[in-house]
Amino acid sequence: GPLSEALHIQPALTSAISRALLGFVAFAAVAYTSKALVAPRVVLHEASDPRVVPALGAYSMDLMVVSTLLPQRLGLPLLCLAWALATLLALTFAVQSVRRRVPLEPTCFPVTVTFALVPICGASLGMPTAARDAAHLMGIAVALPLAPWAAFRVLRSADVAASPSVWPLLAPWALISRAFFASAADDPASLLHVRSCGVLFFAASSLTSLLTVYAAWRRRHAILKTFFSPAWVFFTFPSCTAATCTTQFGNWANSPVATAVGVAMSFATIGAVTSIAAGFLCRLPAWMRACAHQMDRGSKPPLRASDAAIEADGMHAAAAMHPVAELTSPGRHVLPETPDSCGFAPCSNSTCGELPGSGPAIAAVL
């Protein structure tokens, strides 16, 4: 019918776009590898900081995606190396977060979703079924205890009221569901080759997506006050993954409704991600100049609205509905997160060390 024809329009164009995005991910991976070789002490310091180590989690995901570009004899060892790196980073993040009492933040999601990417990439590289299942189960083991706490933080806590970064905190289940369709759904030897697993994973993905959309809608006035800040980049990964997951579930379950919803989500996501990426690139030079100017002056960057909301957590229990630009902290000047704000100021929502745009590219490739 028209829908099935729409899904197969111009496969050559789709392949070209996918290769271009893979090239961008490869560039990000090479850039950070060069940094690790040139300044290993800096990278080790970043790995010990729970606020920065998620950027290395994104790097391990870059390596996993790059492994699919290589022949099996090279790609599979690189995938296993990236898996080992992801495991080390997740353990480091957990230990340092407990040791330093760092709260769970939306920016930690590259650490929490990384394992589910292994079976997706491994399926195309001929990774043994047992290894893919092990990585898949590791992803589930990480997501299970984090999901209730993440849901509580998104729905109730004030420290995510000021930023659109509420989206990725519940993202792991979308990637876990995506991993099922890529790795286990068509492999009878897989431990997870059970129809109920596919339904449960998709249900968890849909539920967490709905919770996140609800939280974002409830805070829509506060979130719009931050337009356009770097945190809007966080919208791209979970939205792309959820759209792909919904489309694949519709094909797997022979559900025209789910397929139509997935296609509609995909078109909406393409427009949103393209706009966000363009806005990010246009405003990146101004943010970098602002940060460099503040560093040259040796002054502490002004507190942004989202940082004020974070520091005010506990003092403003109802801040989830509060106009965040009005939240203040004694002795500090609060700036709304506008295009003139320094988007990379040190804060608990920092994405220091992560190359801008690698997340959207990975999500689009998936």
Q: What is the pLDDT of residue 333?
A: 36
Return the bridge partners of 323, or none.
none
> What is this structure's pTM?
0.70
Cα angle, residue 64 at apex, residues 59 and 67 outer, rounded to 5° = 125
**Phi/psi at 101 (5° precision):** 55, 45
User: Which position has the token pair 């991993």?
Assistant: 179
The residue extents of the domains of the chain are: 158-349
- Mean pLDDT of each 10-residue bin along the chain, 366 residues long: 46 61 75 83 77 74 87 91 88 77 62 83 91 92 80 66 61 87 89 90 88 77 68 72 87 89 85 76 77 66 43 35 31 38 37 45 52
Q: What is the pLDDT of residue 332?
A: 36
Q: What is the pLDDT of residue 45?
A: 79
Q: What is the pLDDT of residue 366?
A: 56
> Please, is 84 exposed, middle or buried when counting C-beta atoms within 10 Å of its C-beta (0-12, 13-18, 19+)?
exposed
Q: What is the pLDDT of residue 224?
A: 73
Length of the chain: 366
Listing DSSP states for 154-165 in one string gives HHH-GGGTT-GG
Q: What is the pLDDT of residue 56?
A: 76
Q: What is the pLDDT of residue 199?
A: 92
